Amino acid sequence: MTLAVNILLWLVVAALAFFTSLRGRVLLDTGVRAGLGEFIRLLPRIGAGVIGAGFIAEIMPKALVASWIGPESGVLGIVIATLGGALTPGGPVVGFSIGAAALKSGAGAPQVIAYSTAWALYAIHRLVIWEVPLMPARVVWLRAAVSLPLPFIAAAIAVLLAQP
């Protein structure tokens, strides 16, 4: 599976590189250099996230995680996970490592989907640092308000998809 994903990804990279090179050599160089720079900047953050996720999963109280947001926790678990996601501060490192750690310690997949959906939509720091300064404030609030039901819909669809 991971090999297939890798091959697919690199085919996409090759195709994009080909199209970019048709537009000009300089463009391709700039693009590849930007991509590599981004990769090098991300490395330490992802490393900390992955290694952190492993250790956080080890210290998470597994019984508690399973009873609060485990596969049996149902709608209440989804509500708890949504609240947790909305309140998780920090960038992708924090959100994804907590989600992955929860999954490892026995959380249910629909609950983790609700968690990561809520976190992606709300991430308080992103709302305040980026969204409010760069967009009209009332549009930001509108966006946040219409996002309220989405984690629940995502979890519901996940449940439906998993039970054909």
Partner 1 sequence: MAFAAAAAVYWRDGPTHFLDVLGGDVALFAEMLPKVLAGCLIGALVTMILPRELVARWVGHESGLTGLLIASFFGFLLPGGPITIYPVAGAFLVMGADAGAVCAFIVSWTLLGYTRALVWELPFFGAHFVIWRILGALPLPIIAGLLARIAVQAGFHYERGK
Smallest gap from residue 84 Cβ to partner 1 (A) = 15
In angstroms, the CA 109 to CA 51 distance is 21
Restricting to residues 77-116, name those near partner 1 by CB under 8 A: 92, 94, 96-97, 99-100, 103, 109, 112-113, 116
User: Is 164 near partner 1 (CB under 8 A)?
Assistant: no
Give the three-state DSSP class for 107. Answer: coil
Per CB under 8 A, 44 contacts partner 1: no
Find the radius of gyration of the CA atoms of the chain: 19
Q: Does 25 bind partner 1 (CB under 8 A)?
A: no
Cite the DSSP H helix spans in 24-164. Answer: 25-59, 62-69, 74-87, 92-104, 109-122, 124-126, 132-134, 137-146, 150-162
Q: How far is the CB of 111 from partner 1 (least distance, A)?
A: 12
CB of 85 to partner 1, least distance (A): 12
Q: Is 71 in the site for partner 1 (CB under 8 A)?
A: no
